[in-house]
Amino acid sequence: MMKAKAILKALLCSYTLTGVLLLLLAFLLFRMDLSEKVVGMGIVVIYILSCFLGGFVLGRRMKKQKYVWGLLLGTGYFLLLIGVSCLVEKGFPMDIGHVVTTLALCTGGGTLGGMIS
């Protein structure tokens, strides 16, 4: 039960950071008329930073096998991201290449955060 709470708290930290950074990106897009390429790179950075933070927070709480907990956090982040996207888009929103890349970014960021914690 304690582990589930820690995972949920770390996911909440990740998604809070995601929300703040996406708002900042939207503001920059509005003010600076950013290109699609820059916005895409910004989203990738947000995925990595958010999963890194969650993995770091979870690794600090778990003390052992921190990288595994970070990997689990990144996977949970990805699954929630895909689930919400499927609900909003009323179907699978991405091609398989994009899905694999996003999974790698989320799990990699979470694992790195767990390792460094």
The per-residue pLDDT for 69 is: 95
pLDDT in tens, 22-74: 999 999 999 998 889 999 999 999 999 999 999 999 999 998 999 999 999 99
Question: Which residues 6+ apart lie within 8 Å of 21 measured at CB?
Answer: 46, 49, 50
Record the pTM: 0.90
Confidence check: pLDDT of 78 > 80: yes
The mean pLDDT of 89-115, rounded to a whole number, is: 89
Pairwise CA distance, residues 36 & 41, whole Å: 9
The mean pLDDT of 94-103, rounded to a whole number, is: 88
Q: Is 15 left (phi over 0), alpha (psi -120 to 50) or beta?
A: alpha
Average pLDDT, the chain: 92
The per-residue pLDDT for 88 is: 87
Pairwise CA distance, residues 117 & 99, whole Å: 27
